[in-house]
Amino acid sequence: MGSIYIQNNKDKYINFFSCCILVRGFERSTIYDIQRETIEFIPNTLIDFIEDIRGRKVSDVLEEYKLNKTAKEYLNFLEKKEFIFYSSNPSFPNLSAISINEDTSEILFTTVILSQHIYDNIDTFAKNIRQLGVKRLHLHIDNGNCMDQLLKILSSLEYSQASNVSLSFPYQKINKKVYENKRLTSITLFNSPKKQSLINNDIIKNYITCDDSKLFLTRFNLFDIAIGINAYNVAKNYNLALFKTIFIDRNGNIKHNFSDKNSYGNILDDFEEIKTNTVKTLSKLWSIKKDDIEPCNVCEFRYCCTTTYLPEKGKTGYKVDCNYNPYTAEFN
């Protein structure tokens, strides 16, 4: 049983890489490789198997499972995917938790629906985005001829901390100067005559044929996951989807997400007001982890999901109505 590699390591112990996180779901489980930033779907029985063999001598495991075909497949899979390694040490320290309080930003992720109103107050808007410490910014414009407006907004954000900027606007010719912006990572062009994906100056351009009506609806899809040490640490302590995340509508209202009926302040308010009142009110939901929400608490995506559902308090605890059903592993 097992590869030549495992046969040559019979006297060693089986170890699971500490950067690979096992997350048990109801219907299926996952392994988050937070170093490679990838996710692997696995059956729940594989988690049981890993828990059984972890830290055990290779020769003992080979003996116990010598007649088990599935165990052989599991071992080959774990070895091939480099989730396990063999060592003279039976165990290694777990990944140490990094402090998530080192980041001094008030807000990290922001989506903005730009409008003439915000554009007319661009200096105040840019100053507040800068002072909030926003690192990842999405700007949405619904003007079919927005290149001048866009270049002015990008230039006003020159001194912000935003290191990752993405854009969405209607299909149109893109001014070459836009590609010179080093923070720009992706552009979504909606109402495009043709669906396609292109890369220009390392910027991903997604041309989509539909309009923008569904772009910001809260729905889970597999593009909405964040696998990495920072995201995992936040998800263990906070609601990863809502933590330091805001949505700014065309009137400047600050909300949790596109569907949020409440407004907690305005991006054109005085910064001290935003910092002391708006952020404080928003942060009330940040500590409701996916572990505390039904059905997220049995979902294999609970430590990587960035879908901004707002938890509602029911009789038995918090719940969300997600389009992904972790009990069946199906999308509605």
> Footprint of ligand SF4 on this chain (CB under 6 A)?
220, 290, 295-296, 299, 301-302, 305, 307, 309, 320, 322, 324, 326
Facing residues of 84 across strands? 16
- Contact by Cβ (8 Å): 279, 106: yes
Distance CA 143, CA 153 (A): 14
To ligand SF4, the closest distance from the beta carbon of 104 in angstroms equals 28
CB of 231 to ligand SF4, least distance (A): 13
To the nearest 10 degrees (0 to 180), the angle between helices 147-156 and 122-132 is 50
Nearer to ligand SF4, 266 or 307 (CB): 307
Which CB, 44 or 263, lies closer to ligand SF4?
44
Q: How far is the CB of 111 from ligand SF4 (least distance, A)?
A: 17
Work out how close the CB of 289 gets to ligand SF4 at its nearest, in angstroms, rounded to a whole number. 10
CB of 302 to ligand SF4, least distance (A): 4
Which residues are CB-neighbours of 66 under 8 A, at least 6 positions away?
Answer: 1
Spatial separation of the C-alpha atoms in residues 53 and 30, rounded to whole Å: 18
Q: Where are the alpha helices (DSSP H) in 113-191?
A: 116-120, 122-132, 147-156
Residue 103 CB neighbour total at 10 angstroms: 13
Of 33 and 300, which CB lies nearer to ligand SF4 in the complex structure?
300
Query: d(Cα 296, Cα 30) in Å, to the nearest integer?
Result: 14
Residue nearer to ligand SF4 on the CB measure, 27 or 269:
27
The residue among 16 and 324 lying less far from ligand SF4, judged by its C-beta, is 324
